[in-house]
Amino acid sequence: MRIQEPNRAGSGSSPTETVVSVLMVGVGGQGILMVSKVLATLCQAAGLEVKQSEVHGMAKRGGAVFSHVRFGAKVHSPLIPEGEADVLLALEWAEGLRWLHYLRPEKGVFISDVRRIVPPFACRDRGRGVAPRYARSTPAEIIGRLGTGYALDATGIARDLGNERAANTVLLGVLSTALDFPEEAWLEVITRLVPPKTVDVNRAAFLAGRAWVENAVLPEPAPEPAPPAADPLLGRIVNRLEITRAWCKGCDICVKFCPERCLALDAEQIVVPTDPEACTGCRLCEWLCPDFAIRLHKELPGEAAPAGADAGADAVGAAR
Ligand code: SF4
Ligand code: SF4
């Protein structure tokens, strides 16, 4: 969804005459650093001075990551003061909300994926059917309060293009409509910086982000979210783990973080479920896997997996 006309950061003057501040936020493994590198490289190629500051050293997979990028004729500080970000680009919805106070009032542009990733440490109660704690504000409520805002399912768009990990490039496409650089310059830098085998999908993702802005609509008034009702089927739900072996690089993150210790690496260093009965369906493994190699499906007993869903994948179920 989008509200009002697109606002170009530093509009009315060329980027060389003003300092433009772009704050990028998200969680570990989403590709924030690649996105900020693309923007910084683009600015340098345009002959602008760029200052970049990022924090990622403390962020384990799933922890907060942010990057400040400032560019213009002369940039004195790499850090964006509160209330002075011309663009806030969020790869994760709650992280976007957490940094909203950095956005320039009225003129700032907010761009966010609506994807929700609950940080591991917010997942304190892992019992059956317990909703993880998360920001309650809906995209329509937030976008409705801002001068220019975009909330989109960038992950879904990237998934439709064949690679969820290109969600960050979809958001770059949206970002490109708020900054004064030619489309070709963006594409040239993206082609140079992404892994060679993902060039096509990243170019497509960038163009899809730009096209999304063209077709974005004003939000409908948000209906009141219904309070979560007790689910009578809950006791019959089966947790089924789908592991795409070809994508697992054996990093061990899911094994280490699984609170129930029901995953392990096999002899080929690929993750396998070892105790499916113990799996509570908390989804930590799915959220933390940097390679999208593990997915959790909640199904009713006897419900057939979608055709081809488990091609090349391990699946295992446990009633919950
Ligand atoms: S499934 Fe993902 S997190 Fe787990 S070992 Fe494989 S690559 Fe790492
Ligand atoms: S296998 Fe995944 S979903 Fe199941 S308990 Fe472990 S981390 Fe949670």
Query: Domain segments of the chain: what residues?
Result: 20-214, 234-319
State the distance between the two ends of the chain, measured CA to CA, in whole angstroms. Answer: 36
Contact assessment for residue 320 and residue 234, using Cβ atoms and an 8 Å cutoff: yes
pLDDT higher than threshold 50 for residue 312: no
Q: Please indicate whether residue 276, judged by its CB atom, sits closer than 6 Å to ligand 2.
A: no
Distance, CA of 95 to CA of 42 (rounded, Å)? 25
Measured by CA distance, the residue closest to atom 3 of ligand 1 is: 289
User: Which pLDDT score is estimated for 228?
Assistant: 57
Mean pLDDT of 215-226: 60
Distance, CA of 259 to CA of 33 (rounded, Å)? 28
The mean predicted confidence, pLDDT, of the chain is 79
Residue 283 confidence class, pLDDT cut points 50, 70, 90: confident
Mean pLDDT of 31-50: 92
In words, the CATH class of domain 20-214 is alpha beta
Tell the residue number behind the tokens 């009633």, with chain if given. Answer: 319
pLDDT digits (tens, 9 = 90+) for 68-102: 999 998 888 889 999 999 999 999 888 888 888 99
Tell the residue number behind the tokens 């990093």, with chain if given. Answer: 251
Mutate to test the pocket of ligand 2, among 237, 272, 280 (most ligand atoms within 8 A of CB): 280
Distance, CA of 246 to CA of 124 (rounded, Å)? 31
Which CATH fold topology does 234-319 show? Alpha-Beta Plaits (3.30.70)
Higher pLDDT, 312 or 278: 278
Contacts of 196 (CB under 8 A, 6+ apart): none
Distance, CA of 104 to CA of 140 (rounded, Å)? 19
